[in-house]
């Protein structure tokens, strides 16, 4: 049998065969095999890399079984050195390219270097600037180095190489044109907490990073966005990676069983498919996409046949042209000029080289569809075995409980929730929980303002019984949202008396709403929204101390602190004020408050480094350092509305909304599903008026007609769409749990953790967790498709049909987990 050309090319490139071309250089044509084994360690040749990948010129020393070039960030000059570890080093003025031997060889050799002084832009190749690849579980930053490129011609006939043994770092290599595309490709990895490395490829090209070293493979998966293609003139679109570089990636895949993902590509022979049209779709034209086969990524929990929109995402309907190598995993519905269903995504297996391919562009910044689809490739490329975990939180917080609200429409109306409304919500909770996937937990969290309870009691039993009545003051004038008050300034609004909380239960229990809560205490979760809802941007330390301490005393006295789900260390700031007021923050801290929620419409309150981290206040921006601000989404269910007509009209008046309440809910569904599938753990803001249901007309939501409040309509809409698309559980957490989860995520990301696969006989038999110094002050989650053979006593978690998560702690040494069943590569 004659070996395929690609097999010989790969064997020569990896140094498994002795050929007429040196190891580490991809043969352009079918090579001549001199000896069916590794080359002699002392063999040397003279070579120079040109823009076409042909080698001629300067001197290098070859080593047995070398791998591929690496890019480091250290600028160097030409040197010659002899090293203990055999390497091939080609040095330019700005980057060092190093080829290391395979783990199977430990012989020594000589390294020489040369300087490439080619003029930028010439056909001999260029190198300008520095290239940075960032290995991290947070968004990496990259600058670029350029080299000339050639057109891409991809070989699709491959075969398996020798059995993978050793280690493989479970780090995903993300290859993209620029940081915007790289962030799209890596946003899902960031959501899970899976480490990745970014390689930005400019139009002039760039060297690949080190794919493997003497200790094993450096990347457990490869993701390429849009083939890193550019228009080289006259509509000549081609990849900025050279043929040789693509083949290096393919050879690496075969050597270590590494999977590749490509998206935003045109169907063709290299993907086992044929395009059915020139692309789709024009504005307003819909062609739904759905998964048709998820058997190769079972831990994804994605449902088949659940169509989602492709509007705004250019795509190419296709058919499979090679059923021997290619299987469909997703399809487009008929539409856009294509009369039948067509192939949208495939998995290729070219005799051992595996890749998943989507014939559609991705943009996770705005597209709910992209955020949804990415879970297929993330769980497939990792084989469901990775650092990090998947969790969807639906935390709905109700602000202003016990207060009254001035309603937007009808104008002039004042509304306060009733016991009948709360009874309606409690009766509905079991119904909505029954619609959730297995393993789910859902409840509503309420932010209380105790002064509203005093006001209600005062109306029933009078001022004398209520210690002179509630707290009243002149409303403070508005300030800009990001107003920073100079420390020690501000205006005091509170009266001088009382100096401490003094209201009796006789007064407080005269309010039927409080009595109702006391008899339904564990139906909900609770936290403080401050006592009176005083705006805090220009408030004094004295006033805010009373706002916090009075409400804490009230919560204690009436029994909320005894509830099963009570947050003691966080608050909902009134109108999200006070976060730039150092005096207010110090008052919070002095009263045991270490965190709060923010407002995601205000960039100043978001962590600019990583969307999965909380924001921490600073002396410079707030006059106080270290208060944790957790992100929270606002919705189009406005605080001063209780009816569909009101919130729809306010949407139209203030936010350029159009249409009916159904249109508003559809918009909310799209945005919220995008957040949930991005694995954002941010909460959602609602208000007491939104719960009105007892005396409201029935409305129809998802085909069901009932006396839903506008809050219930929102939850019903989101839940229905979520369970239609996935089998995952939805989990509600208390504010305190949510805040701690954000803090733990931040802490573990500072540890630089990584996971590596233990390989034996072409299978993954275990994983090893490590970090900087192999210590971390936060537990690190590891996701397993099935429970490992030994969890070492670490806590484990499995909800519903989700995979198993082990929460491992590093205390000075790496931790290795053996798999109960090896995972074939």
- Flag whether pLDDT at 493 surpasses 70: yes
Residue 353 neighbours by CB under 8 Å, 6+ apart: 158, 250, 253, 254, 260
The percent helix, strand, coil of the chain (3-state, each to 5) is 25, 25, 50
Quick one: pLDDT band at residue 34, thresholds 50, 70, 90? Answer: low
Bridge partners (DSSP) of residue 169 are: 756
Length of the chain (residues): 825
pTM across the whole model: 0.84
Query: Which range is most confident: 3-17, 86-100, 511-525?
Result: 511-525
Helix (H, G, I), strand (E, B) or coil at 473: coil
Please tell me the distance from the alpha carbon of residue 166 to that of residue 758, in angstroms, as a whole number: 6
- 36-92 pLDDT, tens digit per residue, is 555 654 433 333 332 322 222 322 222 223 232 232 222 222 222 333 322 222 222
Bridge partners (DSSP) of residue 527 are: 447
Percent of the chain with pLDDT over 70: 82
Give the chain's mean pLDDT: 86
Please tell me the distance from the alpha carbon of residue 642 to that of residue 227, in angstroms, as a whole number: 50
> Would you state the pLDDT for residue 712?
98
Bridge partners (DSSP) of residue 175 are: 199, 224
Q: For residue 369, which of 302, 429, 309 has the smallest C-alpha distance?
A: 309
Mean pLDDT, residues 354-376:
98
- 794-818 pLDDT, tens digit per residue, is 999 999 999 999 999 999 999 999 9
Least confident range of 143-152, 333-342, 596-605, 651-660: 143-152
Q: Cα–Cα distances in Å, from 809 out to 228, 539, 782?
A: 39, 43, 11
Mean pLDDT, residues 326-355:
95
Bridge partners (DSSP) of residue 441 are: 731
- 155-174 pLDDT, tens digit per residue, is 433 444 446 788 999 999 99
- 567-612 pLDDT, tens digit per residue, is 999 999 999 999 999 999 999 999 999 999 999 999 999 999 999 9
> Would you state the pLDDT for residue 100?
28
Q: Cα–Cα distances in Å, from 792 out to 312, 468, 613?
A: 48, 61, 29
**What would you report as the CA-atom Rg of the chain, rounded to the nearest whole angstrom?**
31
Quick one: pLDDT band at residue 115, thresholds 50, 70, 90? Answer: very low
Quick one: pLDDT band at residue 124, thresholds 50, 70, 90? Answer: very low
Bridge partners (DSSP) of residue 210 are: none
To 5 degrees, how large is the angle CA 504–CA 507–CA 513? 120
């Amino acid at each position: 049998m004659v070996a395929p050309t690609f097999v010989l090319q790969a064997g020569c490139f990896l140094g498994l065969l002795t050929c007429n071309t040196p190891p580490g250089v991809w043969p352009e044509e079918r090579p001549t095999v001199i000896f069916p084994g590794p080359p002699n360690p002392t063999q040397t040749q003279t070579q120079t890399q040109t823009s076409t990948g042909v080698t001629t010129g300067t001197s290098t020393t070859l080593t047995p079984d070398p791998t591929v070039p690496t890019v480091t960030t250290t600028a160097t000059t030409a040197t010659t050195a002899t090293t203990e570890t055999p390497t091939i080093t080609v040095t330019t003025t700005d980057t060092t390219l190093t080829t290391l031997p395979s783990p199977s060889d430990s012989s020594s050799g000589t390294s020489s270097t040369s300087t490439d002084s080619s003029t930028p832009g010439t056909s001999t190749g260029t190198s300008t600037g520095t290239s940075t690849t960032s290995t991290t579980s947070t968004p990496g930053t990259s600058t670029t180095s350029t080299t000339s490129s050639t057109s891409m011609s991809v070989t699709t006939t491959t075969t398996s190489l020798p059995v993978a043994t050793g280690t493989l770092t479970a780090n995903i290599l993300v290859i993209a044109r620029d940081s915007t595309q790289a962030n799209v490709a890596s946003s899902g990895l960031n959501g899970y907490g899976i480490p990745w490395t970014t390689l930005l490829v400019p139009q002039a090209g760039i060297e690949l990073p080190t794919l493997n070293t003497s200790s094993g493979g450096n990347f457990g998966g490869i993701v390429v966005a849009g083939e890193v293609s550019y228009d080289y003139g006259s509509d000549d679109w081609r990849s900025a990676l050279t043929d040789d570089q693509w083949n290096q990636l393919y050879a690496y895949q075969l050597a270590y069983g590494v999977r590749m993902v490509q998206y935003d590509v045109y169907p063709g022979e290299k993907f086992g498919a044929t395009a059915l049209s020139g692309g789709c779709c024009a504005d307003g034209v819909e062609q739904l996409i759905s998964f048709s086969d998820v058997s190769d990524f079972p831990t994804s929990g994605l449902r088949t046949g659940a169509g989602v929109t492709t509007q705004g995402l250019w795509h190419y309907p296709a058919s499979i042209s090679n059923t021997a190598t290619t299987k469909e995993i997703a399809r487009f519905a008929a539409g856009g000029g294509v009369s039948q269903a067509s192939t949208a995504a495939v998995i290729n297996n070219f005799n051992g080289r595996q890749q998943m391919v989507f014939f559609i562009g991705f943009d996770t910044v705005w597209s709910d569809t992209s955020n949804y689809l990415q879970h297929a490739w993330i769980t497939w490329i990792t084989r469901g075995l990775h650092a990090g975990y998947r969790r969807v939180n639906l935390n709905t917080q109700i602000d202003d409980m016990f207060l009254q609200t001035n309603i937007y429409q009808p104008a002039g109306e004042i509304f306060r929730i009733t016991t009948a409304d709360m009874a309606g919500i409690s009766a509905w909770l079991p119904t909505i929980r029954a619609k959730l996937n297995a393993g789910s937990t859902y409840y509503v969290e309420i932010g209380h303002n105790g002064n509203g309870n005093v006001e209600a009691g005062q109306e029933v039993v009078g001022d004398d019984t209520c210690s002179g009545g509630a707290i009243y003051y002149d409303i403070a004038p508005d300030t800009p949202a990001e107003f920073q008050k100079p420390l020690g300034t501000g205006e005091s609004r509170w009266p001088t008396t009382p100096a401490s909380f003094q209201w009796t239960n006789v007064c407080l229990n005269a309010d039927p709403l409080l009595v109702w809560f006391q008899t339904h205490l564990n139906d909900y979760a609770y936290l403080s929204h401050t006592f009176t809802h005083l705006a805090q941007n220009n408030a004094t330390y004295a006033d805010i101390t009373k706002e916090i301490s009075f409400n804490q005393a009230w919560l204690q006295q009436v029994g909320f602190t005894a509830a099963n789900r009570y947050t003691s260390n966080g608050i909902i700031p009134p109108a999200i004020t006070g976060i730039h007021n150092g005096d207010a923050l110090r008052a919070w801290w002095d009263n045991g408050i270490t965190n709060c929620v923010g407002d995601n419409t205000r960039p100043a309150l978001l962590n600019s480094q990583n969307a999965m981290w909380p924001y921490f206040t600073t002396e410079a921006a707030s006059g106080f350092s270290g208060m944790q601000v957790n992100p929270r989404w606002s919705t189009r269910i406005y605080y001063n509305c209780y009816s569909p007509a009101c919130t729809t009209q306010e949407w139209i008046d203030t936010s350029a909304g159009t249409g009916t309440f159904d249109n508003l809910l559809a918009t909310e569904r799209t945005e919220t599903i995008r957040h949930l599938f991005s694995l954002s753990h941010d909460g959602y803001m609602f208000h007491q008026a939104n719960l009105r249901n007892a005396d409201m007309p029935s409305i129809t939501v998802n085909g069901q007609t009932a006396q839903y409040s506008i809050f219930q309509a929102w939850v019903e809409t989101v839940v229905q769409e979520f369970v239609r698309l996935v089998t995952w559980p939805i989990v509600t957490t208390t504010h305190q749990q949510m805040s701690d989860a954000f803090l733990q995520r931040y802490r573990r990301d500072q540890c630089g953790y990584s996971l590596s696969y233990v390989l034996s006989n072409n299978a993954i038999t275990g994983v090893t967790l490590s970090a900087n110094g192999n210590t971390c002050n936060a537990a690190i989650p590891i996701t397993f498709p099935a429970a490992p053979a030994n969890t070492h006593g670490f806590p484990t978690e499995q909800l519903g049909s989700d995979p198993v998560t082990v929460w491992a702690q590093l205390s000075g040494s790496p931790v290795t987990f053996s798999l109960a069943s090896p995972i074939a590569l």
